[in-house]
Homo-oligomer: A and B are copies of this chain.
Amino acid sequence: MPRGWYGGGPGGWWQRQFRGGGYRITMPRQIILQVLDESKRHLSAEDIYLKVYQIYPTIGLTTVYRTLELLVRMGLVFKFDFGDGRARYELTRGDGNLSHHHHLICTNCGRIIDYDDFIEEELELIKKTRQELEKKYGFEIRNHTLQFYGLCKKCKAIKE
């Protein structure tokens, strides 16, 4: 049995999600999901393309984009923007709105650090804020991001 969220065989829950939506389970789609599952976070479309290409060389970039769009629409994947002009993607892993997508981004070299320190309080506050914003603005909130921008250790040292 495969490891990770992606596994579970042909009757797994995401396969059911696909069928329920009238979407076909194709080789490109399976491999894209596999790659997302096996990789670290925040991959660009091209990152994904190159990894899928190793397994399935007839893949096209277009299919990667179209599949990612579908997965985002289905709520299986989050799309991020770090301000460098290319989108990043990662599996939601079924954790809905409680996941933390919190990043430190170096505005000089583009390095991205995921942090999950000091998260407890944050989640608590965000949960509360979320509820209040939903009530006040009638928004249905599905996701959130908290990002800090600045200079990473290395770039800071160079600038000095």
For the complex formed, measure the closest distance between the CB of A135 and the CB atoms of chain B, giving whole angstroms. Answer: 10
Is there an interface contact between B150 and A138, defined as CB atoms closer than 8 Å? no
Is there an interface contact between A107 and B142, defined as CB atoms closer than 8 Å? yes
* Range class of the A interface residue count: 35 or more
A27 within 8 A of B: no
CB-CB nearest in chain B for A157: B138
Is there an interface contact between A138 and B152, defined as CB atoms closer than 8 Å? yes
A16 within 8 A of B: no
A82 within 8 A of B: yes
Bound-state Cα–Cα, A143 to B83, Å: 13
Bound-state Cα–Cα, A107 to B150, Å: 27
CB-CB nearest in chain B for A87: B83
